[in-house]
Amino acid sequence: MLRACILDFHGTWEDHLTLAKFAYNNSFQSSIEMAPYEALYGRPCRSPLCWAEVSETLLLGPNLVQETTENIKTIKQHLLTAQCRQKNYVDRRTRPLKFNIGDHVFLKVSPRKGVTRFGKSGKLAPRFIGPFEVLQRIREVAYKLALPPQLSNVHNMFHVPMLQKYEPDPTPVLDWGELNIDEQLSFEEIPIQILDHKEQVLRTKTIPLIKILWLYGNTEEATWELEAEIKEKYPELFLHSGTFQNFEDEIYFMEGRL
């Protein structure tokens, strides 16, 4: 949108950033079914299009009002064009999944680590549990599933991106009976092995890091974590960790080769 404004107005994007922001905040958004300004303040914005009705042109001058009005119309048209282009791009590349009543689907769950890295909670790759039977279609983008009593704390209606078509013996599917899944469809991963270690050198300190293999993950999903946090929460992991060296694709320990 800003690129189009530059081409039309023959200037830099900084010269028209204020008008572009105004046009965006007062354009209808299909997701909230109103303009962002109206959603924030509870009323439509009193735009320059209304200035002429209350005689502000006598104070500001008709040329300024007319120029601002035309610029805002142009920016809104560019915004609408960009939205249509993005919609067409997505529609060409996405095909919404459709399931029938009685079909079986997998449900996506998100494993989480019980440690934080640099103040942010880490997450591993999502996994799938199931299969579960489809009981009802809710509109076009959600389905109601038959969940077992062990998952009674989970709401049984799910959006399509949370589901995956059932196929025999899929590799990423977990035995959900062994997992403690919460109402947010997530479960805590447990570290089972230290694969490697390194130090992150900063300007004023050095931070020891270790590469962790998680219980429901493979070596490709191993992550680097703060050694101090892992040692505090999982001290037993360091009892038999040994001394290790990393030779690219192979890991060697003093106790033997893995």
Please say if the pLDDT value at position 7 is more than 90: no
Residue 120 is predicted with a pLDDT of: 43
- 224 versus 78: the higher-pLDDT residue is 224
**pLDDT tier at 209 (50, 70, 90 boundaries)?**
very high
Please report, rounded to a whole number, the percentage of residues in the chain having pLDDT higher than 70. Answer: 63
CA distance 230 to 255: 22
Region 212-226: mean pLDDT is 83
Question: Among 66-75, 125-134, 161-170, which stretch is predicted with the lowest mean pLDDT?
Answer: 66-75
CA distance 31 to 147: 30
Question: Among 28-42, 84-98, 174-188, which stretch is predicted with the lowest mean pLDDT?
Answer: 174-188
Residue 246 is predicted with a pLDDT of: 40
- Domains defined for the chain, CATH in brackets: 2-93 (no CATH), 96-187 (2.30.30), 190-258 (2.40.50)
Specify the length of the chain in residues.
258
Looking at residue 34, what DSSP letter applies? B
Region 121-128: mean pLDDT is 59
Region 122-131: mean pLDDT is 68
Q: What amino acid occupies position 63?
A: N
- 251 versus 41: the higher-pLDDT residue is 41
- 221 versus 52: the higher-pLDDT residue is 221
Q: Do the Cβ atoms of 214 and 191 come closer than 8 Å?
A: yes
Bridge partners, residue 194, by sequence: 212
Residue 136 is predicted with a pLDDT of: 92
**pLDDT tier at 135 (50, 70, 90 boundaries)?**
very high
Q: Do the Cβ atoms of 149 and 159 come closer than 8 Å?
A: no
Looking at residue 217, what DSSP letter applies? -
**pLDDT tier at 151 (50, 70, 90 boundaries)?**
confident
CA distance 138 to 123: 29
Q: Do the Cβ atoms of 37 and 44 come closer than 8 Å?
A: yes
Q: What is the pLDDT of residues 85-105, one digit of tens each?
A: 777 776 666 666 788 898 999
Q: Tell me the residue ranges of DSSP E strands in the chain.
A: 104-117, 120-123, 127-138, 142-146, 157-159, 163-165, 173-174, 186-189, 191-201, 206-214, 223-226, 244-247, 250-253, 256-257
Calculate the average pLDDT of the chain. Answer: 73
CA distance 240 to 9: 68
Torsion angles phi and psi, residue 228, rounded to 5: -65, -40
CA distance 141 to 159: 6
- 43 versus 114: the higher-pLDDT residue is 43
The reply to whether the predicted model has a pTM over 0.95 is: no
Kindly state the helix (H) or strand (E) to which residue 9 belongs, with its residue range: helix 2-9
Residue 188 is predicted with a pLDDT of: 75
CA distance 106 to 170: 10
CA distance 134 to 149: 16
Residue linked to tokens 């590349």? 93
Residue 74 is predicted with a pLDDT of: 75
Question: Number of H helices and number of E strands within the chain?
Answer: 6, 14
User: Measuring CA to CA, which residue among 108, 128, 114 is closest to residue 212?
Assistant: 114
Residue 75 is predicted with a pLDDT of: 74
Residue 214 is predicted with a pLDDT of: 84
Angle at 64 between CA 63 and CA 65, to 5 degrees: 95
Helix (H, G, I), strand (E, B) or coil at 255: coil
